[in-house]
Amino acid sequence: MGYAYDQYSYKLGRWIYYYENRSIKADILFEITKSPIISRGCGDTVYYKKNLINPSSKFFDLNQKEIIADSLLFDTYLRENQGVVDK
């Protein structure tokens, strides 16, 4: 048995973001993936959970026109949601 660490700093499910004028900014479906790596300390496999944005998610400009998301926009919503979980 090795050291285990749980941190739930990721989002799951449907999240809706709003502009200050209360119009919808983004309607995002967050999913989770597990990425395995070998721990250098004990040789066990450790899984890192990471957020993914489902392709069916939608993003809107201030005029409520749907926009195509690029990697920079995805990073804006994903950057604070990286989590670590044990095996």
* Cα–Cα dist 20/62, whole Å: 10
pLDDT attached to residue 84: 35
Check pLDDT > 80 for residue 18. yes
Check pLDDT > 60 for residue 87. no
* Domain-embedded: residue 78: yes
Of residues 54 and 79, more confidently modeled: 54
User: Which residue type sits at 79?
Assistant: R
* Domain-embedded: residue 3: no
* Domain-embedded: residue 37: yes
* Cα–Cα dist 52/12, whole Å: 9
CB neighbour list of residue 71: distance below 8 Å, 6 or more residues apart:
none
pLDDT attached to residue 20: 93
* Domain-embedded: residue 55: yes
Of 14-18, 40-44, 54-58, least confident by mean pLDDT is 40-44
Domain that holds residue 57: 13-85
